[in-house]
Structure 1
Amino acid sequence: MNRRLPVVIQSLLFMVLGNFTFSSYAPLAPFIKNAYLLNSTELGLITSIIFIGSFSVSFLSGAFVDGLGPSRAVKISFAVMALGSLTAALSHSYVQLVMGFYGIGFGYGLITPSTNRAVMEEYYPHHATPMGVKQSGVPIGAALSAVVLPVLAIHFGLQWSFVATIIIGGTIALLIPSGKVKNTETRRQKGYLRQVLGAGRNRSLLVISLCTAFLSWGQQSILTYYVVFLEQRGFAIIIAEIFLALLLSGAVFGRLFWASISSRIFNGNRLKSLVLIMVISSALFISFPTVSVSIFDAGFIAFFVGMSTVGWNSVYVTLISEIAPRSKVGLFSGLSLMVISVGTILGTPFAGFIRDRTHSYVVMWLTLGIALFSAAMFLLFMELRYRIYHVDRKETDFVSEA
């Protein structure tokens, strides 16, 4: 990456700008629903399509990031997101819109593995705080998206909201330097498929990723349905969008807060921190249907919900980066993101299906809370029984033994 700025600042900017585009589906959800006459299941399917796009590239993220280097991977990422945004802007049907969001998700799938590797290379072993700072870019970008895109949609129309994301993606793709190709010797030593299969047999990676998929389900469901849920509770759309921005502000604080907690209270054990976040988030989902119609109370709850249900990511990406061999951070990050994407791909439309069948958000939030608590207890059991959390800093490739 370009060394004119510290790596953590560069990574933060990439996360902010990438998530401005990636998170556009949340603040634009009511506009998309009205423009294309969608039901809740179809609206949730858009979220799934974005993550299917991210899922599609996750398998290859190790080749992109560990092979081409973080800078080239980020350059490709923003170029593809710009093309996806262009497709969405020019869409005249639901199918075309979905294709555009698929492109956005595909492009975004490279940003997290790329920045994970850059931060670990630069700051290890003092990486927890830089990782938290970097990941705070996710809700910051989403919050900016929640503030800017609805204004553009209201005053200029839905298509013009995508023009902003086209400009961002195209500009970054043109300006960012390509960087040097690194680690080509690794690809010559072992076949990439063999490396993927080796990582796929890592029990710690699989268990942590599968349980975190429930957090991903919860996060994307609340980002997708939060505004329309508040509208149903009687809030004006502009107030609901402000609450979404407040929720994302809580997520920014949460990503810094939980990174600090994992180091100071749990002595660097990210897994214990992740379990705690899952338990708190499950309790919030279960109690969420009782949200007050008072603006003050709803705003306070929005911040706290964002702090946990969206603020967990910094602990998760640090955990995955720590259990990976040093030369395989991109590969481990990509495979883990592929697994947790299943939670969004299947979970978000399922949540919408529950809402459509029951005609109430209460059952949807309760289902999320119970499922997330069960996943937290399973993860805690696996840690107590098998000690699945361990920091791996080996330089060499791993190949599972027969």
Structure 2
Amino acid sequence: MNVMRAVQIFSPTVTATLRYLQESEDCRFQRVDATITFMKHMHYFFQIHNVSNRTYYIRSLDSSIAPYVDVSDERLEWLHMTFPNYIDDIQHISVTAGMKGLSQETAHALKFTAESTCMCIKFLLSQAGFYYVLTRAFSSDAVEATFSHVRLRGGSNDATDARAAEYAMRQILRCGIVKASKSSNTASTVNYVSHAFVQNLNSRTDTEDLILPMELKIKIFNLCKDIVPRADIYSASVAFLAGYIIKKIDDKFHCDDCLSPLLSFELPGPLLKLMFLQDRGGLTYPNSRFVGVVKQISDIALKMFPLLKFERACEQLLNIIFPHLEKNPLFKCEKHKRLVCKFVVTTTVKPVLDNICLETTDLVKAKLLQHKPVSRKVLKL
């Protein structure tokens, strides 16, 4: 199970997107307040159980992942009272409305985990003499690994009796499950030389013989003009990438003439509302014209990818887009204009190409799963 993907469902990015769609008066998202509240509670629950560093909360501007240093921490009160009461309210309201709500096992596990975490932190700070507590170190992986070895020693039996469990524990204590056997015949180093065909890295990257449709040519030509995108969810997400690019330009060139035409000095409008809903004080806000340029480059890369004939797709897109982007009035610094334009193109194109490759990989995996063979169980004698 990929835990990261499960946790990302409750991330602030998703909740801010739902809030953005609700405020944009989309009729499909007008009754998402309860969903957003639930997602925020679950995200906070995961965050306070994911404290792993003493200083990262300063860099990330997120106080929920600060180390625990005091028994009067408000997060402990939230674990002890607020969160269990919220779970009880969910169960009660669900029954009243004729819905199932959370399963009894899930509700009990959430409340039990919250209460046990609160009690462990208080014990370590008040009685064990800890100066601080990092909750990511609270893990049951070692216990689960022991149980899996007990089942394995009993012949992969999920319903072991007391005699089989005792025998398995004795074997684990005698042999050790994490130590490498000194009598094994495995070499310490294994050398392997691949005879696979090596591709020619000097492949052509010229784009003169590419035949582009007229619509795509117009998009490429319009890069030299001011582009103001429509305020929708796609453009609002592109604004994140535009702000990241501006931050990287500042780190790389340290030039005010390069930055000032790209920044927004006004209150966040509908285009930047999605950023504003997630901002903790460290985001860079681009102006609408630069967001339009980044969105236009992204659209061109998506439509041109199937037409590319040679390797090094990023270089080919750079050769096509750069001559027109260089003429855009946003880039006024004569000293860094060429470098900034190339940096904008490559930084925009790379995540687009990564997404295309990931989508292709997911499609291939889905096709492989459709033809998954029936598992063959081995009878152990």
**TM-score, normalised on structure 1?**
0.26
Between 1 and 2, higher relative CO (CA 8 Å, sep ≥ 6) is seen in 1
Determine which structure has more spread, i.e. the larger CA radius of gyration. Answer: 2
